[in-house]
Chain A
């Protein structure tokens, strides 16, 4: 796999980091002030870990709910409520 450019400019990196920052939940609390790149990468890692954990937990919950849901009308209701949101 080759890299797309031979020189990566500092500005491009800053722009991408800024874009990442806007996606993190901490940013919504703190506001768009400047944070060090290292701190930001750390927050990004933490966020990805917490999202993965949520997928894990929600999968378990869905599995438990599936056990009790044995009819199609429940599924239809779920689809309807999703489409309404």
Chain B
């Protein structure tokens, strides 16, 4: 059988700040600053939702326009005031209908062929976990700051 899986090593649990992580941190922190300046101090829930949108926006901008999922995220964020888009176009082949649950979870997943879906999913997962790591780092740092 194939031995390609042996080449897949687990990701380093404590990666140093690579270039895209740094870009992500920069974007997200800048967005956080903006949220703080523009959201009234009393509305914690509203601020929480804005922070969440800032998280996805930072992820998507850092991933760039070459990824279908990041384009879908930005479309969704920019059009959130309007009606929800119609149900995504379904491909008619068996390959196109595979993994329906995954298609709903990956932004833009509805119109992709199966191969693209798998590639986009891998990239989306990497970026999502990087975002989570970043936010956890900020929370840890902010929690331990001060007396």
In the complex, residue of chain A having the shortest beta-carbon distance to the beta carbon of B45: A63
Known: A24-B125, A59-B51, A59-B55. 18 other contacts (CB 8 A): A5-B115, A16-B115, A22-B10, A22-B11, A27-B10, A32-B5, A32-B6, A45-B105, A48-B121, A49-B105, A56-B52, A58-B132, A58-B136, A62-B48, A62-B142, A63-B47, A78-B29, A78-B145
In the complex, residue of chain A having the shortest beta-carbon distance to the beta carbon of B51: A59
- Please measure, in the bound complex, the distance between the C-alpha atom of A24 and the C-alpha atom of B45, giving whole angstroms: 31
**Judging by beta carbons under 8 Å apart, are B102 and A41 in contact?**
yes
A: which residues have CB within 8 A of B? Answer: 1, 3-5, 8, 11-24, 27-28, 32, 34, 41-42, 44-45, 47-49, 51-52, 54-56, 58-67, 69, 74-75, 77-79, 81-83, 85
In the complex, residue of chain B having the shortest beta-carbon distance to the beta carbon of A65: B142
Q: Which label, helix, strand, loop or mixed, suits the secondary structure of the B interface?
A: helix
Contact of A66 among B17, B36, B121 (CB under 8 A): B36
Contact of B121 among A4, A12, A20 (CB under 8 A): A20
Cβ–Cβ < 8 Å partners of A75 in chain B: 29, 33
**Judging by beta carbons under 8 Å apart, are B126 and A23 in contact?**
yes
Cβ–Cβ < 8 Å partners of A61 in chain B: 139
Shortest CB distance B67–A (Å) = 14
In the complex, residue of chain B having the shortest beta-carbon distance to the beta carbon of A69: B142
